[in-house]
Structure 1
Amino acid sequence: MGHDVFDHTYFNGVDGMGDIPDVNPPDYSLINQTEHAVLTLIRMSKAYPNQITLIALGPLTNLALARRMDPDISSRFKEIIIMGGNIRGVGNMDVAAEFNFWMDPEAAQVVLREYKCPMKVVPWEVCQEHGLEWGFITSWLTADTPKARFIRDILHNLTQQQQQDGALTYTPSDTLATAVAMDAALAQTASNVYATVEIKGEFTRAQMVVDWGRLSQKSPNIDVMQNLDMTRYKELLTEAVH
């Protein structure tokens, strides 16, 4: 519904996987599915009501459209974990906007306002505060396993560029949100608050606005993940490559 169209397709390489040579390239026709993603969400939520934990790692367009096509879908998920938004107005694409919400602010507003299932949000500032030291990244990916070699290869260009740019840590935001889904106890602090998304602001379009003081008197609609157990997080990452 926004006026601008942005293309950030190649952030992780032309192939989305770091452009590493592929000995056995996949059949790209496999991505041409006959069923639209929105229809898949609706169908799966009906087939497994209150059983699906949905991890949203990108713009929320499909989730918002699913809500418009089937209003009841908003209560059929067990929970939704969202990597996106911000809690202190710190932006990474615009002055006050995080990338996933910035790409489709109207969709983010629909999801936060209208979904009735439990929702956890891992915001951009929290991802920044829980970066992984380069020493850990090196030791993590030197494991002599196919999984470790694969991750090391696809991350090579990105991590090398970030180190050259002077980044003190590597911040894999999607990984952090997935870890929260795997272990609910990872979040040592979570705030149950009401939040929405600004869609009209001249300088704040796409900012997630959090009612910390409950001044709006609206019922909380999300749990904001804040202090995360880094020891447990690293354990999950280490287990994942073995």
Structure 2
Amino acid sequence: MSGVILDCDTGIDDALAIAYAAGAGVPLTACTVVHGNVPVDLGSRNTVTVLDAVGLDGVPVYRGASRPMAQELMTAEHVHGQDGLGDAGIEPSARAVAGDLAAVRIVELARAHPGELSIVAVGPLTNIALALLLEPRLPELVDQVVIMGGAVGAVGNASETGEANIWHDPEAAQVVIDAPWDVVFVGLEATMRTPLTQEQLARIERSEDPRAQLCWRVLQHYLDVYENVLGERSCVLHDPLALVLAVEPGLATYRTVRAFVELGRGGTRGMLVGDLRGFRPDPEDPRAPGVIRIVDTLDTVAFHDRFLAAIGA
């Protein structure tokens, strides 16, 4: 892996993913930021802050889309805190973002390093869709695309059927699905299998590693939120799972399916629908438009081991 563009909307689980990247030596070429968990300006500031806190102060951050393509802006401070980092009192970094127009920068980087860069998107897909509209050859220019998004065959979290990153910009997600590239959607059907155990949380709490200490601080609000979902004080690791699978895809097996996003105005808007019926063979070509890969089986133990080791817990 020559380099990774991490497209994020930095809230709590984005911060966990960045901490993993620092400890695992993931070669982050740039972080691009989109609306989502918080407004894009705050997400950009949080991205710089977390990068600097975990020793990645050389990674440039580019501010991107401030709203979805075809609906009003919606954010999720109730999940991530008013500051997006769990209201834990994390001191913002003084480093400035490197620039705006994140979609343009994605295209420029892909053109400058054809076939070398991976895109890992852990927020709404507005920046990625805009980059595709700017450069239709983008699928030929990137090595791999891994997205945290969707809930194929699972309940949603932003709505009854919609996972937040797809629900926040359904039209952008459809543009990404229609592109002729091999794209993996790491959805709730996979990420909800990753709750941390009490022993694992205790390891994070006890660690003296700055990465683990940052994670523990921002996790407190997240643990409060997920206690109502999981029935115990724990949480799942949405964004870290997508980044870990981009680095070590062998920790999972995948199924190739035909897929689309529900774009209507009813209660199922933003639902990522995958054809799991088995009435006809699954597609063989993952690069075909309208075809995605989803996680089938997951080595959760190995995933947790990788994450905890990287943050120093």
Q: Same fold (TM over 0.5)?
A: yes
Deviation at 1:214, TM superposition (A): 6.3
CA distance in 1, matches of 2:255, 2:89: 44
Identity percentage of aligned residues = 27
Is 1:60 the counterpart of 2:128 in the alignment? Answer: no
Is 1:173 the counterpart of 2:238 in the alignment? Answer: yes
Deviations 1:137-190 (A, max 9, x none): 222332222211111112122214433666344112011111111211110x31
Deviations 1:205-232 (A, max 9, x none): 1111112336598654322112211221
Is 1:19 the counterpart of 2:87 in the alignment? Answer: yes
Amino acid at match of 1:204: T
Show the counterpart of 1:155: 219
Show the counterpart of 1:79: 144
Deviations 1:97-150 (A, max 9, x none): 111100100000010111x23211111122112322233222233222221111
Gaps of 5+ in 1: none
Is 1:232 the counterpart of 2:302 in the alignment? Answer: yes
The one of 110, 113, 126 equivalent to 2:175 is: 110
Counterpart of 1:204 in 2: which secondary structure?
coil
Report if the CA contact (8 A) 2:71-2:169 is conserved: no
The one of 264, 267, 288 equivalent to 1:203 is: 267
Structure 1 residues 18 and 89: alpha-carbon distance in aligned structure 2, compared to 1, 3 A threshold: closer
CA distance in 1, matches of 2:311, 2:281: 45
Show the counterpart of 1:51: 116
Amino acid at match of 2:186: V
The one of 193, 197, 202 equivalent to 1:133 is: 197
Amino acid at match of 1:186: L
CA distance in 2, matches of 1:13, 1:214: 44
Show the counterpart of 1:2: 70
Aligned length: 237
Is 1:146 the counterpart of 2:187 in the alignment? Answer: no
CA distance in 2, matches of 1:163, 1:102: 23
Question: Is the radius of gyration larger for structure 1 or structure 2?
Answer: 1
**RMSD of aligned alpha carbons:** 2.3
Show the counterpart of 1:119: 183
Report if the CA contact (8 A) 2:195-2:235 is conserved: yes
Structure 1 residues 202 and 16: alpha-carbon distance in aligned structure 2, compared to 1, 3 A threshold: closer
Amino acid at match of 1:40: R
Deviation at 1:7, TM superposition (A): 2.9
Show the counterpart of 1:97: 162
Deviates more, 1:138-147 or 1:170-179: 138-147
Counterpart of 2:298 in 1: which secondary structure?
coil
